[in-house]
Amino acid sequence: MSRILLVILLLAGTAGAVVAYGDPEQIARASQQVSQMLRQRSTASAPAVQVSRGQGGEFALRAKINGVTAPMVIDTGATSVVLTWETAKAIGLPLEMLEYDVDVETAGGHTKAARLTLDRLAVGQLVEKSVPALVVPRGKMKTNLLGMSFLDRLESWGVRADKLMLHGYPDVSGRHRRDRAAFD
């Protein structure tokens, strides 16, 4: 969203220069400056994480959920991040307040899950806030899933050979983000 806003502002600035100057040479210079600014922004270091395929064919990693490290498996077939009850408890989520009213299909069969929002989910340098997630009842799943409610927030992700690459958006604010977590 911020990238679109930046492009709109730069285009508006260029259009303003055309109207204000009317001089083709100055317009060309302004256009070059805008192009240079866009190139600098697009080459700004975008956070990225590489995950190797495990022996079982899965892409497993360690994420930080609300500051607590938890194992996860990437699951593009899961519409949401899904946490086991045990992980949710370890993170300190209010399990006694959850309402298990969402139908889900897991590898173990049909169950109900509870909706919640994770304050912060970090995979290496990729940090997302207010991530929708589900929690399944105790013993219904063995693995936490990193699903599309996280993956859809990335600029891109894809598999090449036995590596999964996750690419975040570059920080176009020009400030270094302090809330990035180290990849565990």
pLDDT 10s per residue in the chain (184 long)?
566 666 676 666 666 655 555 677 776 777 777 777 666 655 557 889 999 999 999 999 999 999 999 999 999 999 999 999 999 999 999 899 999 999 998 877 899 999 999 999 999 999 999 999 999 999 999 999 999 999 999 999 999 989 999 999 887 554 444 444 444 4
In a domain, 183, yes or no: no
pLDDT of residue 107: 79
Task: Tell me the CATH number at 122.
Answer: 2.40.70.10
In a domain, 182, yes or no: no
Q: Is residue 97 domain-shared with residue 135, that is, in the same domain?
A: yes
Residue from 45, 41, 43, 49 nearest 126 by CA? 49
In a domain, 180, yes or no: no
Is residue 78 classed as helix, strand or coil in its secondary structure? coil
In a domain, 184, yes or no: no
Q: Is residue 35 domain-shared with residue 57, that is, in the same domain?
A: no
In a domain, 58, yes or no: yes
In a domain, 74, yes or no: yes
What's the number of domains the chain is made of? Answer: 2
Q: Is residue 75 domain-shared with residue 95, that is, in the same domain?
A: yes
Q: Is residue 116 domain-shared with residue 28, that is, in the same domain?
A: no
In a domain, 73, yes or no: yes
pLDDT of residue 43: 52
Question: How would you label 17-41 residue by residue, b for 16+ Cβ within 10 Å and e otherwise?
Answer: beeeeeeeeebeebeeebeeeeeeb
Q: Is residue 110 domain-shared with residue 65, that is, in the same domain?
A: yes
Question: Which range of residues forms the domain containing residue 102?
Answer: 48-167
Strands 100-106 and 60-65: unpaired
In a domain, 88, yes or no: yes
The most distant pair of C-alpha atoms in the chain lies apart, rounded to whole Å, by 71
Q: Is residue 56 domain-shared with residue 17, that is, in the same domain?
A: no
170 close to 41: Cβ distance less than 8 angstroms: yes
